[in-house]
Amino acid sequence: MYCGTKMDEALMNRGDRPKVAESGKATPQEFPDCPSPLARVGRRASALHDHLASVILRGDLAAGNPLPSERELMRQFGVSRSVVRETIIALANQGLLKTRSGYRPVVSRPDYDSVLGSMDQLMAHLITQEEGVKNLFDSRIFFEAALARWAALNARKEHIQDLEQKLLRNRKSIGVRTAFEATDIAFHDVLYAIPHNPLYPAIHRAYVEWLRKPWSCIESTEEIDFMMYGGHEAISKAIIARDPDLAEEALRRHLNTAWEFVRSNFDFRTGNTRNKSL
Amino acid sequence: MYCGTKMDEALMNRGDRPKVAESGKATPQEFPDCPSPLARVGRRASALHDHLASVILRGDLAAGNPLPSERELMRQFGVSRSVVRETIIALANQGLLKTRSGYRPVVSRPDYDSVLGSMDQLMAHLITQEEGVKNLFDSRIFFEAALARWAALNARKEHIQDLEQKLLRNRKSIGVRTAFEATDIAFHDVLYAIPHNPLYPAIHRAYVEWLRKPWSCIESTEEIDFMMYGGHEAISKAIIARDPDLAEEALRRHLNTAWEFVRSNFDFRTGNTRNKSL
DNA sequence: ACATTATTTTGGTAGGACCACATATCACCC
DNA sequence: GGGTGATATGTGGTCCTACCAAAATAATGT
């Protein structure tokens, strides 16, 4: 039993309102706007959360900057550490903050990537069944087919050049697993980039992330790589030929082939590659 | 200063391990599997979170059922209430739990909707700029155009019937704002339903949710409703005629018209309808 | 049987004390 | 001086106790 005199924190008086700047310590870093009585309705944590979220999202707190420490925040907003803590956790879960033990939380303004990234965990579980992976993969085929069609109709010459460059690199990396995977992704990424909508590349990255495990069960022999490359080449040619139907069909064929590999080699229960020869 | 003898909670002894069933109180509801020493690595909250998440996602805790109380959980897992609390907050933010003050948290297994729903808050802020709304709207047009094309090529007769039914209802509700909006959504929903991928309807609901405010700035006079209905009719006809190009074009025209309304009437700063006649 | 009032339960919050770890500071030795 | 190790301080993570308001439940009076 302590009841000792040592006090760790929470030294500010609460009787009425948190007095501002009561000690001579001189608040190290003041906060953008808010002396902020912090609306008294509902959960305090929610109020603080909304406030900080809007501060971050409005850009008042630039990404990369650290947040004040938890102790500092409780002083500035006149709430307990529990509330500050809840808030930070929630913000971190949303991708607005990155927390490392021992460091102050770091602001990270969310872009489309982190928005999609917030679905990672849930998506990971939704694809523990074949149904889930299939739905996801299907949606990718669907979306990318539309992209191929769009590319065939709207690609500019710089896109075409990009496409050819990525195709070449892909060819050169046949047989080298990691390199081939990377150039494969880079090739597909061109399709997502052509419409100039920043959402699409983010969607691509999300697909790659979510389908990483199923995808990685596709073996990487020289033959298979070559076949995959062939698919890319066909897509590329159709796009260059400005033939949307052909482009879509080539892409569907390509990804359907990939799906067949996944379906036969991927163990949907364990999430690993099935050792079918065993 | 208290140091009193009253004890609220945390009555179990910690010296070593939490003794199981130390009091005669008889744990009211046992937990699916885990006496669970709960891996000692990393953050305790993360461990608990992962554990509970997997329990829920595996379906061991059916949706709708309440979780044990926070006090109960700390007993069962031998952690402090702070940790339990953190965990619950995180799970709630992911949509795996629903919390109401005063009630026990309720399990809600996530489907595609709640996965997309977890992006709501962030998306709400990403579309506070015209850029964001435009990107989102564009992606919808893109996706839905592909759906229209798909529908023209693959719709079965029951889909066609559904389409006609929804179209009829839409026509009947011209002039009645709320009804027209509802039947409008219902019509578009048919397109998302045709490929039989459960992701798509969820995506549609997400679009509707995210674009609700911009969309609602489209006035609802009899004329405008009629024009919108005309778009639906054109799409429908093209699909029935099995003409993918026409279907895509009709849909693009329809949604682009809607976008023009949004662009001219929506105040991207405030997020409200702009009062242009003022 | 029903309305009304205690009692208990439950989430929400406050506040205090540690710990492990990271960093900053500074004396100390070569 | 330039390391270099010890020490002080800051920070997130955890535990604990306490209290409150609202909800649920039990007890009670009519």
CATH number at residue B253: 1.20.120.530
At residue A141, the 3 state secondary structure works out as helix
In a shared domain, residues A166 and A200 = yes
User: How would residue B69 be classed by pLDDT, with cut points 50, 70 and 90?
Assistant: confident
Please give the pLDDT value at position A118.
76
Count how many domains chain A has: 2
User: How would residue A195 be classed by pLDDT, with cut points 50, 70 and 90?
Assistant: very high
Residues in chain B within 8 Å Cβ distance of A53? 121, 125
Closest CA to B147 of B208, B204, B207, B185: B204
- Which of the 8 DSSP states describes residue B67? P
User: How would residue A3 be classed by pLDDT, with cut points 50, 70 and 90?
Assistant: very low
Any idea which of A49-53, A145-149, A257-261, B124-128 has the lowest mean pLDDT? Answer: B124-128
Evaluate whether residue B261 is within a structural domain. Answer: yes
pLDDT surpasses 80 at B269 = no
Q: For residue A273, count other CB atoms closer than 10 A to its CB.
A: 16
In a shared domain, residues B220 and B138 = yes
Q: Minimal Cα–Cα distance from B214 to chain A, Å?
A: 18
Average pLDDT over residues B259-264: 92
Evaluate whether residue A66 is within a structural domain. Answer: yes
pLDDT surpasses 80 at A1 = no
In a shared domain, residues A177 and A209 = yes
In a shared domain, residues A242 and A172 = yes
In a shared domain, residues B130 and B92 = no
Domain that holds residue B172: 117-273
Please give the pLDDT value at position B208.
95
Evaluate whether residue B278 is within a structural domain. Answer: no
More confident residue, A103 or A117: A103
Integer CA distances (angstroms), B249 to A4, A20, A192, B154, B270, in order: 77, 62, 21, 17, 33
More confident residue, B276 or B67: B67
Q: For the domain that residue B82 is a member of, what is the CATH number?
A: 1.10.10.10
pLDDT surpasses 50 at B29 = no
In a shared domain, residues A182 and A257 = yes
Q: Which nucleotides of D are covered by protein (CB under 7 A)?
A: 10-24
pLDDT surpasses 90 at B185 = yes
In a shared domain, residues A136 and A106 = no
Choose the final residue of a domain: B84, B110, B136: B110
More confident residue, B15 or B130: B130
CA-based torsion, A237, A241, A247, A249: positive or negative? negative
Nearest nucleotide to B69, CA against C1' atoms = C10
Residues in chain B within 8 Å Cβ distance of A118? 118-119, 122
pLDDT surpasses 50 at B165 = yes
Q: Does A43 touch chain B (CB under 8 A)?
A: yes
Please give the pLDDT value at position B15.
33
Share of chain B above pLDDT 90, in %: 45
Q: What is the mean pLDDT of chain A?
A: 83
pLDDT in tens, A148-191: 999 999 999 999 999 999 999 999 999 999 999 999 999 999 99
In a shared domain, residues A124 and A237 = yes
What are the backbone dihedrals phi and psi of residue A127, each rounded to the nearest 5 degrees, phi first?
A: -105, 25
More confident residue, A132 or B124: A132
Please give the pLDDT value at position B61.
81
Evaluate whether residue B51 is within a structural domain. Answer: yes
pLDDT surpasses 90 at B39 = no
Q: Does B144 touch chain A (CB under 8 A)?
A: no
Please give the pLDDT value at position A63.
82
More confident residue, B155 or B35: B155
Evaluate whether residue B104 is within a structural domain. Answer: yes
Evaluate whether residue B240 is within a structural domain. Answer: yes
Q: By the 8 A CB rule, do A196 and A150 touch?
A: no
Q: Are strands A97-98 and A106-107 parallel, antiparallel or unpaired?
A: antiparallel
Evaluate whether residue B266 is within a structural domain. Answer: yes
Please give the pLDDT value at position B230.
97
User: How would residue B17 be classed by pLDDT, with cut points 50, 70 and 90?
Assistant: very low
Choose the final residue of a domain: B60, B80, B110: B110
Distance CA A150, CA A181 (A): 24
- Which of the 8 DSSP states describes residue A66? B
pLDDT surpasses 90 at A60 = no
User: How would residue A17 be classed by pLDDT, with cut points 50, 70 and 90?
Assistant: very low
Any idea which of A200-204, B205-209, B247-251, B264-268 has the lowest mean pLDDT? Answer: B264-268
Residue B140 CB-density burial (10 A; 0-12 exposed, 13-18 middle, 19+ buried) = buried
Choose the final residue of a domain: B69, B90, B110: B110
Residue of B nearest to A90 (CA): B90
In a shared domain, residues A158 and A248 = yes
Please give the pLDDT value at position B236.
98
Please give the pLDDT value at position B277.
53
The integer distance in angstroms from the CA atom of A16 to the C1' atom of D15 is 28
Average pLDDT over residues B192-211: 95
In a shared domain, residues A131 and A225 = yes
Evaluate whether residue A278 is within a structural domain. Answer: no
In a shared domain, residues B103 and B133 = no
Average pLDDT over residues B158-164: 97
**Residue type at A198 in one-letter notation:** P
In a shared domain, residues A60 and A188 = no
